[in-house]
Chains A and B, each alone.
Chain A
């Protein structure tokens, strides 16, 4: 073996993204006759996403599977996919990211020492809480929700009439349990695996964020590869996407069933009033022309 690509992931072993990168490694090994291999460091062994992004940019590690959120401060194009309700459905997101807009965003990583390889599914994030089922925007009034450390998410929650509480992820479980906050928001697999479903029984499928995740490579590692090997890596990454989407769908169904069996109630509120409340958020965060045109092009994709 000549080349071992070290890859980081914050999710645990067996998670769809971890398995997809492992699968990509198998493809690479096979297609390069064993010359290229991928080694996945799961469970944030090498650090949290902000840190591993820096490590990738510095060439300490080669590959990195990251959420879009931590890139918002670095690659402005990624902000567009972190806007609430920008995608109508997972299918819509797939069409957008597989098309021109997706390619344009991937290109945005290049000036920052990164090569964008592929998008993975990260599911749809929805609110869950310990108090009551949410069926309308009014139900959210005055409730405290933990959000990720990001201005867009804080503004989104506030625009819905709730209170955003930025808290470290590790403190969410106890904070819901003790009542520091009423709830948080995430996709089914995280809601289930982080055990938040034990303390927050009401899940409302408002699907405010359908955010893809991204697999990036260090520009320095990329440049060391021959053009043929670069093509191999790119193709293997592309081929792992289909696999990841399958794994994700299965995992999402499984998690949903698990939380339902454990007594969580799932409500499906009418999304339109939620979307209508997002006006001020878009006004505040979609300011430059480039972002505006990206929003329009995403909405135009049918």
Chain B
């Protein structure tokens, strides 16, 4: 009965359009009241769930991303990527993906990436005769690269949800090969779709122009090295690197590019506050929700149920992937990581799956969910930038979903893709 109240309230409120944070919070509140437990526990979880030092990475990386977009780092990276791969078939689509890969190396938010790269690329693609749906789909899928390449605050949320005992540096490193694979798979897909639609290529601007654009983009791109090198050489921790990213973004946009005005700085700050407050409020209420699930022993029952279905680890991994994909279509990534990690990770570990590997599987899986209606923040941004409906984007997104799912299958069943690189750095 308690479980019905918890999920019933949650689903009902969600359907009538109550903000997710409050759906989770009020469902927990109602359930605790029904069970006769002191309701203060809900508000304690709300507060403790977000009062975690490692979560500081979320406001910082989002803040850094906002500063990069407003201060001209993003636009220079797009220009550089354009000179590199614009001459390939479906040139601007390739540029979009290359730019997302570069920007993904300095930003952790797929939504910020869809806005930054999409905002610059989609209008250009429209003007050069590309279908808007194509431009939108390339943008939204390529934005997922940011989740896998370091830095990635979702990896940090995962590590915390797993009890903080998974090395964040390892998780960061583990995402690199899968992230580059996703980039490669999308570039190939973009190529074939572009060929069948007869999209043009761009002229190669010449090595001199490439060198010039590279030089202009270097101050921004250096952040990749600073974050990765700084964490790996022990100057700062993974969490602290997010703060360094903010400082560095400020430094470059104010002193090197001289594009950051006082007004843009205030806008970026307020924007980051608005975004992170909402993301973290959901994380807090999700913590209350998952506390109740633990209290009712839901994870243990689910493990038992899964064991009853099959004992084959491959089957279990498929089951978990399907479940995560299903949940990801209608829930946002952050709360899902918090709710699903304590439930699924013990199962995965019981079947011998490495927690770092499982983290990469989960991030990629839920990332695809950011790109599916009805709740898909990345898809929404890309559609809004392209000014088309989600349903129109959906008609031609399938080849790109296909690419994402192939990469997900490879990442799931070839652990070395995730685990080899961290072992090299150890």
B406 CB, min distance to chain A CBs, angstroms: 31
Tell me if B322 is interfacial: C-beta within 8 Å of chain A: no
- Bound complex: CA A179 to CA B229 (Å): 12
Q: Which single member of A45, A170, A171 contacts B342 (CB below 8 Å)?
A: A45
Q: Report yes or no: B165 in contact with A180, Cβ–Cβ below 8 A.
A: no
Question: A44, A171, A173 — which one has the most chain B CB atoms within 10 A of its CB?
Answer: A171
Tell me if A242 is interfacial: C-beta within 8 Å of chain B: no
Q: Which single member of A45, A51, A55, A180 contacts B294 (CB below 8 Å)?
A: A45
Residues of B144-167 at the interface with A, using a CB-CB cut-off of 8 Å, are 159-160, 163-167
Tell me if A108 is interfacial: C-beta within 8 Å of chain B: no
Tell me if A222 is interfacial: C-beta within 8 Å of chain B: no
Closest to B170 in A: A174
Q: A45-B342, A46-B291 are in contact. Are A177 and B237 (CB under 8 A)?
A: no
Residues of A135-182 at the interface with B, using a CB-CB cut-off of 8 Å, are 167-171, 173-175, 177-180
- Bound complex: CA A51 to CA B51 (Å): 11
Q: Report yes or no: A169 in contact with B237, Cβ–Cβ below 8 A.
A: no
Q: Which single member of A41, A45, A171 contacts B237 (CB below 8 Å)?
A: A171
Q: Report yes or no: A167 in contact with B237, Cβ–Cβ below 8 A.
A: yes
Task: Pick the interface stretch among B41-49, B127-135, B185-193, B381-389.
Answer: B41-49
Describe B's contact surface by its main secondary structure. helix
Tell me if A58 is interfacial: C-beta within 8 Å of chain B: yes
Q: A58-B40, A60-B37, A170-B160 are in contact. Are A47 and B48 (CB under 8 A)?
A: yes
Q: Report yes or no: B165 in contact with A170, Cβ–Cβ below 8 A.
A: yes
Q: Report yes or no: B238 in contact with A171, Cβ–Cβ below 8 A.
A: yes
Q: Which single member of B40, B53, B170, B237 contacts A180 (CB below 8 Å)?
A: B237
Q: Report yes or no: A178 in contact with B232, Cβ–Cβ below 8 A.
A: yes
Q: Report yes or no: B160 in contact with A174, Cβ–Cβ below 8 A.
A: no
Closest to A13 in B: B346
Residues of B281-330 at the interface with A, using a CB-CB cut-off of 8 Å, are 291, 294-295, 299
- Bound complex: CA A44 to CA B238 (Å): 23
Tell me if B206 is interfacial: C-beta within 8 Å of chain A: no
- Bound complex: CA A141 to CA B97 (Å): 51
Residues of B24-56 at the interface with A, using a CB-CB cut-off of 8 Å, are 37-38, 40-41, 44-45, 48, 52-54
A132 CB, min distance to chain B CBs, angstroms: 17
Residues of B219-252 at the interface with A, using a CB-CB cut-off of 8 Å, are 231-239
Tell me if A32 is interfacial: C-beta within 8 Å of chain B: no
Q: Report yes or no: A170 in contact with B234, Cβ–Cβ below 8 A.
A: no
Tell me if B395 is interfacial: C-beta within 8 Å of chain A: no
A28 CB, min distance to chain B CBs, angstroms: 20
Q: Report yes or no: B38 in contact with A58, Cβ–Cβ below 8 A.
A: yes
Q: Report yes or no: B48 in contact with A51, Cβ–Cβ below 8 A.
A: yes
- Bound complex: CA A194 to CA B41 (Å): 29
- Bound complex: CA A179 to CA B235 (Å): 8
Chain B residues at the A interface, C-beta cutoff of 8 Å: 37-38, 40-41, 44-45, 48, 52-54, 159-160, 163-170, 231-239, 291, 294-295, 299, 342, 426
Q: Which 6 A-B pairs have the closest CB atoms?
A: A170-B164, A179-B234, A178-B234, A45-B294, A174-B169, A174-B167
Chain A residues at the B interface, C-beta cutoff of 8 Å: 6, 41, 43-48, 50-51, 54-55, 58-60, 167-171, 173-175, 177-180, 194
Interchain residue pairs with CB less than 8 A apart (29): A41-B295, A44-B163, A45-B299, A46-B295, A47-B45, A47-B48, A48-B48, A50-B48, A51-B48, A58-B40, A59-B38, A167-B237, A168-B52, A168-B53, A168-B54, A169-B164, A170-B163, A170-B166, A170-B168, A171-B168, A171-B237, A173-B165, A174-B167, A174-B168, A175-B234, A177-B169, A177-B426, A178-B231, A180-B234
